[in-house]
Every structure is written in C-alpha cells, then in structure tokens.
Chains A and B, each alone.
Chain A
C-alpha cells in the first residue's frame, strides 16, 4: 500500500531560523495536502498541491511539489513562536495517508 514518509521527525530551531520538512511517497501522488497541528490541537488544513513542480507560498511558508509528484517540502522562513506544532503531509489515497509528521519547536 501507499506509504508516506516524512523527515525529520523532530526539529528544534531558534526563533528567526528557517525550517524545512520533507515528504516522500512510495507512489506517484495525484495531489498532496499539508496540515498543521498545534500542541493539544487538531490538524488544520494548510494547502493542497496538484501540479508537477508546483510552488505555492503563504506568507513565510513555501510549499513545493516535486517534478515526479512523489515528494514535497514545506519551508518556513524566519520561524516565529507561532509556528510551533506538528506539520503533516498527506497523500490523496481514498483513505488520505498521512506522513508521520515533523514536530517543530521554536526556541525564543
């Protein structure tokens, strides 16, 4: 079955540093979604990527979809304490397979 791997599992950064999480699928994805879960909260949809090589930006967040549509990345520029949480990528399988997530800690 489809597997979605995400690295790193944990990332600690100093406030103001950049952060990147990577997502790799064992199969080609028709699209990929990203979610953020704050500590004690529930996953909240961030964005969806559909096209090969697609790049989308949301303020300090940049999302990329690989040319082969098997990998994706989320890059945060100049992290802030509000960025703390776990970031998940999710494949489009009928049962929306989630990556294991990257837990981001931002040190003030």
Chain B
C-alpha cells in the first residue's frame, strides 16, 4: 500500500511569488491535514480537509489556502511568499481524522523563499 506522496520534494521561490504544493493521501483515506514545520516553531497546523471540505483551519494568514479534490488529493497554495514562509510543509492523511486516529505523514516539501 503506497504511503502519502508529496510533490515536489524541494522548491525554491523568491519573495512575492506564489507556490502550489500537492499531496496524495493513502488510498482510502479521505482526510488530509497540512502542517508547517520550522526549527523554532515545531509543527503548526494549517488546515484539514475531508471530502473536499475544509473542516478546520489554524492561525495562518489568508495567503495560505488549500483545497481537496474528489479523489482526496489535496493542494495547498501560498501566495505572495515571504521569507518567513521558508519551512518544511507536511501533509498527513487518515480515514476521517477522528480524534483517536493516527496520522500518516508524507515526506514533506521543503520550501525555501529567497
């Protein structure tokens, strides 16, 4: 059974640009969550999608957005990139993101903003 797949693995952008990251969950998983990981801030929750609907959102500015498709694949978009957006972006999937479910993480997309 394939794991969670994130593309691209690495990305270099400049300030002001926008970026789209992709996440394919484990087959059968309908929930996809996104996290930002930085050395100083740990894992910060961005948002969670289930059946194409955003169910929860963390405390990030509106420049961060996402969506989920009917096949459960998800994308997140960051517009008007800032230097502080440099981070590892992780997505995680689960069947339905119940509070007792474990998350399966992808390898992440390492975003560098210059």
Contact = CB atoms under 8 A, between A and B. Distances in A.
Interface residues of B, number: 21
> In terms of DSSP, what is the predominant structure of the interface of chain B?
strand
> In terms of DSSP, what is the predominant structure of the interface of chain A?
loop
A59 interface: no
A95 B45 contact: yes
Contact of A96 (B55, B103, B104, B106): B103
Contacts, number: 52
Contacts of A50: 100
Interface residues of A, number: 22
B42 interface: yes
B42 A95 contact: no
Given A41-B107, A95-B58, A100-B42, A48 B48 contact: no
Interface string A28-52: 0011010100000111110010100
A63 interface: no
The 6 closest A-B pairs by CB, nearest first: A98-B43, A92-B99, A45-B102, A42-B105, A95-B45, A100-B42
Given A33-B103, A35-B103, 13 more contacts: A30-B99, A33-B102, A41-B107, A43-B103, A43-B105, A48-B102, A50-B100, A92-B100, A94-B55, A94-B97, A94-B99, A99-B42, A101-B43
Interface of A: 30-31, 33, 35, 41-45, 48, 50, 88, 92-101
Interface of B: 33, 35, 42-43, 45, 48, 55-56, 58, 90, 92, 97, 99-100, 102-108
23 contacts: A30-B99, A30-B100, A33-B102, A35-B103, A42-B106, A43-B92, A43-B105, A45-B102, A45-B103, A45-B104, A48-B102, A50-B100, A88-B42, A88-B43, A92-B99, A92-B100, A93-B99, A94-B97, A95-B58, A96-B33, A96-B103, A98-B35, A101-B42
